[in-house]
Structure 1
Amino acid sequence: MISVKMLKPYYIKADDHYVRIILAYQYFSVIINKRVYQFIPIEGKEIRINRRTRKVENVGSRFAFQKGKDIVYMTMTELISLPDFLTQLHNIVKPYYEGYEEVDQHQFENKLVIEELEKLNIKRLIDQALDEKNEEKFRELVRLL
């Protein structure tokens, strides 16, 4: 039986595409067969999440956990199969998704406004072509709608 005892980021780096959770000693521990193993940064040191898809990108990374002289390695794939890992991870990165969603929402709204303005402009040009009795220009503009 494996479960996550604690998952706290040492620090978090966020850019337009990813949220990177940097891990360090004593901030990440798992319980394996009722024994607590502490994370040690000898291989994988970060969890990289795509902000758009909200999926962990570095699924091939291996993380090391130590209890005394015993070292256990777990892949990211194994970790994301643990429900408590995903819950804690989601709670950590949730604020970074919210800011990203707002930006996406604004971009989406702006795009809709621009598309509507373009359609209105084409309709005005169609009216102008009708006023000028320019059938060729009229047909060309109608195809754009």
Structure 2
Amino acid sequence: MVTVKMLKPYYIKADDDYVRVILAYQYFSVVINNKVYQFVPVEAKEIRINRRTQEIENINAKFAFQKGKDILFIAMEELISLPDFLVQLHAIGEPYYIYTKDKKREREKESVVIIDELECLNIKRLIDQALDERDEETFYSLAKLL
């Protein structure tokens, strides 16, 4: 089983269409069968992400990882099947993505929904606290908010 131990860019290059995450020694490592393998720039050295679609463009790239004298090659196709790889990669690329107005509205709506859920959970916690303290007045005022 492959898991990503660390993924940090050596540097990031952004142009009109792509975000290029350039990798180097000691900035990218994976764990395979409980052994840590370090990235070595033998073949592919970058991850290219489309700024508008947030899709990885160079899915045919092969990355080399080394532990001692052992060198393993892992295709981008396998890496993108790892959730922790995608989470870390998109966290790196997020500031460079170009959002359309629709995407911005969608993200704002998601934020509003999350905030509403958090407020509801907070009210429920306060209701629990009022019950614990046997504070009827606070309980009834909070219950009206739900």
* TM-score past 0.5 threshold: yes
Aligned equivalent of 2:40: 40
Q: Give the CA RMSD over aligned residues.
A: 0.7
Aligned length in residues: 101
Report 1:1-145 matches (<5 A). 1-97=1-97, 100-101=98-99, 104-105=100-101
Return the letter of the residue paired with 2:45: K
In 2, Cα distance between equivalents of 1:72 and 1:65? 5
Return the letter of the residue paired with 2:20: R
Return the letter of the residue paired with 2:32: I
Gaps in structure 2 of 5+ consecutive residues: 102-146
In 1, Cα distance between equivalents of 2:7 and 2:66? 15
TM-score relative to the length of structure 1: 0.68
Gaps in structure 1 of 5+ consecutive residues: 106-145
Question: Cα offset for 1:69?
Answer: 0.2
Aligned equivalent of 1:126: none
TM-score relative to the length of structure 2: 0.68
Question: Cα offset for 1:44?
Answer: 0.3
Structure 2 counterpart SS, 1:16 = coil
Return the letter of the residue paired with 1:41: P
